[in-house]
Structure 1
Amino acid sequence: MKISLPHNIIGLQLKSARSNKSWSLDTASKHTGVSKAMLGQIERGESSPTVSKLWEIANGFELPLTYFFGELATNNTLPEKLITEQSIAIATLFPFDPKTKSEIFLLTLEPLHQHMSVPHNTGVIEHLIVIEGEMEYYINNQWHHLKQGEFVKFNADVEHGYRNLSDKKTTFHNMIFYTGEEKQPT
């Protein structure tokens, strides 16, 4: 699922993060597990990363995911969705807050869609709250069912995922808390 943002925001933020750490593309590649060529393409706006790749980059830089979205408008209205593929949409409700060490997203899964997420850094915790529909989440090698109004909290430093097995869209909040010793954006 590719992220679509105007004016190569992700590439500019990646370049800024690399500059802040004084990392070469080679060093950034070693820390993120993403190839030097791919990182260069993202920085130049020639390629758009998948959400999974962006998580790998965020984890390697020890930054929250929303750091790479730049300054998004926060005027108390629902933001434009960061449409990835036709089967999932992600909107940032609250970008990273250094006081609470958290960020909040609104995710919409189309019918019969599944998304697996790479493990986040140690200490990252996710909370899911189903707003509409029903879904399943994957943790500890097992799928668990959630209906509208139900919620769960889990450590996200392991492989985890979300899926919609129904014939209707599912919408849920995903709150991510960075409780570990990650370095915060400057």
Structure 2
Amino acid sequence: MSTQLQERLQHIARNLKQARNQKGWSQQDLAAHSGISRRMIAAIEGAQNNVSLGTLDLLANALGVRFMDLITTRSTIDFSPQHPWQGVVVWHNTHPDSHAEMLASPPMPCTTELWHWSLAPGDHYQAAPDRTGVQEILYVIQGEIELEHNGQRIPLKQGDTLTFPSDVPYAYHNPSEGTARIIKHVVLPLLEPEV
């Protein structure tokens, strides 16, 4: 496991445990609220498991915190709605030109996320489905990508924009010989208040 990945997993582990403790929940409580197994939660909190973005989103939703609060690299976290933060690289592949950085997300209740994605030539990213109601808006700022969605491959070139529901499996592919860069705006449904 790379040092960069291990450091990222340690930040996520610390943040998840802190958010769970602030809620007064055990790992079993979080499992019941999120639908993620207690074993998986224990592995994430032990920095032993490379967690998917979809799993992190489910955990953040259950805890009533922003996705960004779980991935931030700050040593202390304030989970209040006014918490300021900086963009963070959340995903990267073996090629240094393939990575995703979360750029912005408003305070709770979080309704949007702004991302910058970069894919090396021939690289791809396979996404798990987001929760029901999530939409993505893609804008290609460099190169070209193919969006694989519902059995279709949709080619997008520089300057193209596309909106699609992301609550099904989907993937980004870079079929070209140059690096592709996209801005991704994720539109999230409002979180339901706890009863």
For structure 2, the 5+ residue unaligned runs are 75-83
Matched, 1:29 2:31: yes
**3-state DSSP class of the match of 2:136?**
strand
Partner of 1:122: 132
Partner of 2:151: 141
For structure 1, the 5+ residue unaligned runs are none
Say what the alpha-carbon RMSD is for the aligned residues: 3.0
**Paired residues of 1:130 and 1:172 also in contact (CA < 8 A):** yes
**Alpha-carbon distance in 2 for matches of 1:153, 1:64:** 22
**Alpha-carbon distance in 2 for matches of 1:89, 1:100:** 23
Identity of aligned residues (%): 25
Matched, 1:181 2:190: yes
**Paired residues of 2:71 and 2:88 also in contact (CA < 8 A):** no
**Alpha-carbon distance in 1 for matches of 2:22, 2:35:** 19
> Greater shift after overlay, 116-125 or 96-105?
96-105
Partner of 1:19: 21
**Alpha-carbon distance in 2 for matches of 1:80, 1:48:** 16
What TM-score results when the alignment is normalised by the length of structure 1? Answer: 0.77
Shift of 1:56: 4.7
Decide whether aligned partners of structure 1 residues 125 and 149 sit closer, same or farther in structure 2, where only a CA change above 3 A counts.
Answer: same
Shift of 1:120: 1.2
**3-state DSSP class of the match of 2:105?**
strand
| Residue-by-residue CA offset, 1:66-93 (whole Å, 9 max, x unaligned) | 231236744xxxx564452224311121
**Alpha-carbon distance in 1 for matches of 2:109, 2:132:** 19
**Alpha-carbon distance in 2 for matches of 1:22, 1:80:** 27
Decide whether aligned partners of structure 1 residues 96 and 113 sit closer, same or farther in structure 2, where only a CA change above 3 A counts.
Answer: farther
**Alpha-carbon distance in 2 for matches of 1:34, 1:183:** 18
Shift of 1:124: 1.3
Length, aligned pairs only: 178
**Paired residues of 1:97 and 1:103 also in contact (CA < 8 A):** no
**3-state DSSP class of the match of 2:190?**
coil
- Which gives a bigger RCO, structure 1 or 2 (Cα 8 Å, sep 6+)? 1
Structure with max Cα Rg: 2
Q: How does 1:37-116 map to 2 (within 5 A)?
A: 37-58=39-60, 61=63, 64-70=66-72, 73-74=85-86, 79=87, 81-82=89-90, 84-87=92-95, 88-98=98-108, 101-116=111-126
